[in-house]
């Protein structure tokens, strides 16, 4: 069931530009009822920045995992998610986040800076300058997989398998997936989990200077560790979230930037710092359009009562275009500051990988524009046929 009534989320028009429709939803109300009348489950849609923020920050609304049916055949996929940080609430979430933060806190993000700089230069060196280039396939797609592979201490040569597994799993996050998508997700979950378990065992025997080694060794003040299932789920989450979000953020952002030469010039001239521009790239065309929370008790949001067990779909792209918060909200302004977008979430589930994502995207964007300040689109870029995870299939550009 689509959690958003009154729209075909697979329609080409909506995939191309959902923002007029999202504006209509905001004008209707901050929290809208979205029952379909078939399963008896109450569902709501949060449309405004205030409503989305309230939902994300309220600990009575959490990520309460329910196994995908049929549970027996979907078990490999369900197991990964049942043990993920993102799909748990306190006290499990608190313990897992503390351990993951402790491992991350050992300087891994800053350690990655020179590696990301080197990767960017290497990928740019390989681009052919005498023909149009798909900047997603040649630059944005491999970058986050290489970064995560280096962070975890796994071979860069495995990047194709890692990317394919990740994409098969995240396709399940769309609405109304079919049996083929489910089967592909199960196979990817089995193979990815086996791969990670092998990495974990190797790191136990031969520790290295990588995040997996530190995750295996991390012990909190109570003596707690991550279980093997939690270690596997954590590594898979890092790749899935890091890859999909980074590629779509870069793609959506660079397309918006190259579609507006006057804004591109503000960045390439140095008038607007890349770090400032990046926040607008994240806000303007959200790579994650929807994030759900479930009420553990009755909660009042925006004057409405969300009953225990009911779900609220937070429309992140809508929140980021709310004129009550952002002046000229539908305008792309690389110098926008402050820029309180919800791109990394809020509250208990705020993205733990946000510092790494910002570092990676800043370097990726800066290096590209330094090398090719006259970068330009060569034609219409096709959208991916997905709405929740919003991005492009390809973006063809001329480098000079």
Would you please indicate which residues are annotated as catalytic (active-site) residues?
241, 244, 246, 351, 360
Residue 292 sits at the vertex; the CA angle it makes with 291 and 293, to the nearest 5 degrees, is 130
* Torsion angle defined by CA atoms of residues 150, 156, 160 and 164, in that order, rounded to the nearest 10 degrees: -20
Contacts of 49 (CB under 8 A, 6+ apart): 319, 320, 322, 324, 325, 326, 340, 342
* Token pair in block for residue 161: 């398998």
Q: Which residue has the tokens 């196979």?
A: 187
Q: What is the DSSP string of 12-56?
A: HHHHH--HHHHHHHHHH-SEEE---SSS---EEEE-SHHHHHHHH
Do the beta carbons of residue 326 and residue 82 sit within 8 Å? no
Q: Rounded to whole angstroms, how far apart are CA atoms 198 and 379?
A: 44
- Residue 348, helix vs strand vs coil: helix
**Distance from the Cα of residue 40 to its chain's centroid:** 30
- Residue 229, helix vs strand vs coil: helix
Do the beta carbons of residue 306 and residue 312 sit within 8 Å? yes
């Amino acid at each position: 069931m689509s959690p958003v009534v009154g729209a075909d989320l697979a329609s080409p028009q909506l995939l191309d530009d959902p923002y007029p429709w999202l504006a209509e939803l905001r004008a209707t109300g901050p929290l809208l009822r979205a029952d379909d009348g078939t399963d008896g489950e109450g569902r709501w849609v949060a449309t405004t920045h205030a409503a989305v923020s309230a939902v994300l920050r309220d600990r009575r609304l959490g990520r309460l995992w329910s196994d995908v049916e049929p549970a027996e055949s979907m078990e490999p996929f369900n197991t990964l998610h049942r043990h993920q940080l993102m799909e748990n609430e306190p006290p499990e979430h608190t313990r897992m986040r503390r351990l993951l933060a402790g491992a991350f806190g050992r300087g891994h993000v800053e350690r990655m800076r020179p590696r990301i700089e080197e990767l960017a230069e290497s990928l740019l060196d390989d681009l052919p300058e005498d023909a149009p280039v798909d900047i997603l396939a040649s630059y944005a797609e491999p970058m986050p997989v290489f970064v995560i592979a280096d962070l975890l201490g796994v071979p860069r040569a495995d990047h194709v398998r890692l990317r394919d597994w990740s994409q098969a799993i995240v396709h399940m996050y769309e609405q109304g997936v079919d049996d083929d998508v489910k089967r592909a997700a199960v196979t990817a979950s089995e193979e990815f989990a086996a791969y990670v378990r092998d990495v974990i065992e190797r790191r136990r025997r031969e520790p290295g200077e990588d995040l997996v080694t530190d995750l295996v060794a991390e012990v909190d003040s109570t003596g707690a560790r991550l279980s093997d299932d939690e270690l596997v789920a954590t590594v898979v989450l890092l790749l899935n979230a890091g890859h999909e979000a980074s590629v779509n953020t870069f793609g959506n952002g660079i397309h918006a930037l190259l579609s507006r030469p006057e804004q591109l010039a503000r960045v390439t001239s140095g008038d607007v710092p890349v770090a400032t521009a990046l926040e607008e790239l994240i806000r303007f065309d959200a790579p994650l359009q929807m994030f759900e929370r479930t009420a553990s008790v009755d909660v009042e949001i925006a004057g409405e009562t969300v009953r225990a067990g009911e779900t609220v779909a937070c429309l992140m792209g809508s929140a980021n275009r709310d004129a009550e918060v952002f002046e000229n909200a539908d305008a792309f302004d690389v110098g926008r500051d402050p820029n309180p977008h919800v791109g990394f979430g809020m509250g208990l589930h705020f993205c733990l990988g946000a510092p790494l994502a910002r570092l990676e995207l800043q370097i990726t964007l800066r290096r590209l524009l330094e090398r090719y300040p006259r970068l330009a689109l060569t034609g219409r870029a096709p959208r991916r046929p997905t709405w929740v995870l919003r991005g492009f299939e390809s973006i063809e550009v001329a480098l000079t």
